[in-house]
Chains A and B, each alone.
Chain A
Amino acid sequence: MTNYFLGVDVGSVSTNVVAMDVQKHLCAKVYLRTGGRPLEALIDGVHAIQKTLGPNSRIAGAGATGSGRLLAGCVLGADVVKNEITAHAVASLETDPSVRTVLEIGGQDSKIIFLNQGTVVDFAMNTVCAAGTGSFLDRQAARLNIPIEKMGSCALRSQQPVRIAGRCAVFAESDMIHKQQMGHPLPDIVRGLCEAIVRNYLNNLAKGKKIEPTVVFQGGVAANAGIVEEFKRQLGCDIVVPRYYDVMGAFGASLLAHGIAEQTSSHTTSFVGFDQLNRDYSARSVECDDCANACEVIELRANKTLVSCWGDRCGKWSAILARGEEPQLFQETLLNKTIEAPDPPQVLP
């Protein structure tokens, strides 16, 4: 029986699952498109990993990250549910302990992480606009009819990149269309887009902060050689693209799970097991009108049994399972509003 640690990263565009052995070597990885169905992608991914690992394997811990980490954590019974920043930082420190700056461009988020002595000391994420992230590149590749994998090599063929506005996705697209109608060759436009994305990234995220080597570039967009070249040119230093650049978030999650297992010797994982993943999941949202906040409460059920619920500002629904109440009652209580507040102050004017 070999022990493995499972890491999942449920992102907006891709869902990644990895399995790592006790010596922290990555043994299996799956990169799937989320396609708007995070649960299905996650379960497919974990099953694919199970197939790769073979029957003689045991999961000793599981970690979840990404924007869908809450859902993934509930379904898997993850030991640790962490944000992407920490997961990415942990993963890049594992691959290269001397790393000082992590550039990460994912589907919907782009981030920059600054490290010093193995600690995250500062980070920035894109604020209000998704210009210059993976989904924008994806869309442009589809519009230009280039497979997304070939976008980088296309950009590298450029002789004279054109100027594209990178500040806003809408402006960038209209710039690109204008340039294409003027007759500029495709590689020049694609290279111009790469240039604009890097310019916007450095302006929007780095904001004059000092980028020190070693600089690591990870996330799905690191597959694009045009962007890597642009980073090298604009930063004037070498960029390291790690071997598993596309699943670094998931790798980080498995490392975090490993860390938890190491901390306590008598650790037993809360991972539900591969068979349990075939349960019939259903999630639905109910607008609670117990108070004026009108929260959208989400409940997740597996085989009709309540697994978790979240989304409430007061915390009384999320606390139901923790308080050990009969989960089957949840549906009735939420609909009939009969749950008593835990500690109601007895006040009357």
Chain B
Amino acid sequence: MTEPQPQPHASPLVTFPHMGTSYIPIKVLLESLGLTCIVPPINTPRTLEKSLIQAPEFMCYPFKLILGNLIYGLENGAQTIIFGGSQGPCRQEYYNDVLQSILKDMGYTFSYVTLNLSQLWSRHNYTAVRQAWGVHLGHILKSLALTVDTLFSVDSLSLSARRKRCRTSNKTAVETILHTLTDHVMQAHGHAAITHLVRQAHRHIRALPEEKSPEDILRVAIVGEIFVTSDAFSNLDIERKLGHMGVDVTTYMGPASWVREHLIKALNPFQKTGKAQELSREYWNVDDIGGHGVQTVGNSVLSSRRGYDGIIHLYPLTCMPEIAAQSAFSAIQNRYGVPIMTLVVDEMTGEAGYNTRLEAFVDMIRMRKSRNVNILNVDIPGYKRKQWARNSQKS
């Protein structure tokens, strides 16, 4: 274990953990606040090398990755950790305390800034940032605006990437553009430079030709725990794998939808509960069962009604809210006739079993679609129905 070496630096060195592509807007946020950040390399098996020994055995997989990122940051001279906590009956609530005590036990000295991500407008967040770095409100708001701008550029980039992957015949092009972007963003600084890179990558992706015909494209929604659905390493690159099998992937959870929910919609004093929460009422009478359990059920209902060909449910091993949500699936399947497959991820690199399941699932929904098999004769009045259901009634 190496002691962090305090380096002479004009601004304090800050580190933060990864969650998919969220490092791009977070980098913009910290740099516009005038801080220098140490971005850990994107998650790889190397991330877990040290954290697996330190983390509690049955802790969720995201925690182990986050701990690995923070260890990297501290070993490379970071003095401050910035991390977001949220409320709700799920282990995530304890992440901050457990992370701090593990890192202290490992012998690191650092200051720890916690942001409340459930209520982004809370006074706590403002005072935390001001006390840590002495930035005034105007500066914070300006940085926030730049961050949100970057966040949505990144989000629309990933939307285009998902759309393009299943439609272009050049399998490497989208991946190469995204990997090059990652490399360049790590070296670039500030909002202007970074968003320029993101938009440039976006233009490159949009310019790729679309060769496949729309009838061959399957639509699959990914529901589940927010970290593993948005982090490509932890979900074994599910978006890429499905994309190359000709599947247009939709994910509901991610940093952009979080910010839309907790920053932008939170400004509305007459805010109603989200659509997913409303729809999940069909299956249980609760507002929250922790984590994103309610959203998982609601989004599955939403995707079924929108006529998706299939739904894939992802969660890290031992995630209680998702296990609870899973119990609603057989009822959803029986009612809407949409296949739902659950995949549980944890620290693993053997992809054979995972690929087999994905491949078999795509094979199945393709076969169902092409043969127009109306399996359950379900009728959902007032909603867009599945194409195959309509076709089979005609014949």
Contact = CB atoms under 8 A, between A and B. Distances in A.
B349 interface: yes
Nearest to A316: B172
A70 B204 CA distance: 32
Contact of B179 (A109, A121, A124, A314): A314
A341 B356 contact: no
B204 A343 contact: yes
Interface string B337-364: 0010111101001001100110111011
A119 B176 contact: no
A125 B357 contact: yes
Contacts of A319: 171-172
B117 interface: no
A347 B179 contact: no
A293 B346 contact: no
A345 B200 contact: yes
Interface stretch (A39-47, A80-88, A192-200): A80-88
Interface stretch (B76-84, B139-147, B183-191): B183-191
B180 A341 contact: yes
Given A120-B364, A122-B333, A127 B175 contact: no
B373 interface: yes
A123 interface: yes
Contacts of B306: none
B106 interface: no
A343 B176 contact: yes
A85 B363 contact: yes
Contacts of A294: 44-46
A289 B16 CA distance: 23
B172 A315 contact: yes
A83 B201 contact: no
Contacts, number: 129
Contacts of B42: 292-293
B22 interface: no
Contact of A314 (B46, B176, B341, B375): B176
Interface in A314-329: 314-316, 319
Interface in B221-273: 233, 237, 240, 244
B197 A349 contact: yes
Given A121-B368, A292-B44, A315-B175, A128 B344 contact: yes
Interface of B: 41-42, 44-46, 170-173, 175-177, 179-184, 187-189, 193-194, 196-197, 200-201, 204, 233, 237, 240, 244, 317, 330, 333, 339, 341-344, 346, 349, 352-353, 356-357, 359-361, 363-364, 367-368, 371, 373, 375
23 contacts: A83-B359, A84-B356, A85-B356, A85-B360, A116-B373, A119-B371, A121-B375, A122-B339, A125-B353, A293-B233, A296-B349, A313-B237, A314-B176, A315-B175, A341-B179, A342-B173, A343-B173, A343-B204, A347-B197, A349-B188, A349-B189, A349-B196, A349-B197
Interface of A: 67-68, 70, 82-86, 108-109, 116-117, 119-125, 127-128, 207-209, 291-294, 296, 313-316, 319, 341-345, 347-349
Which 6 pairs show the lowest CB-CB distances between chains A and B?
Answer: A85-B360, A349-B193, A349-B188, A315-B172, A314-B175, A83-B360
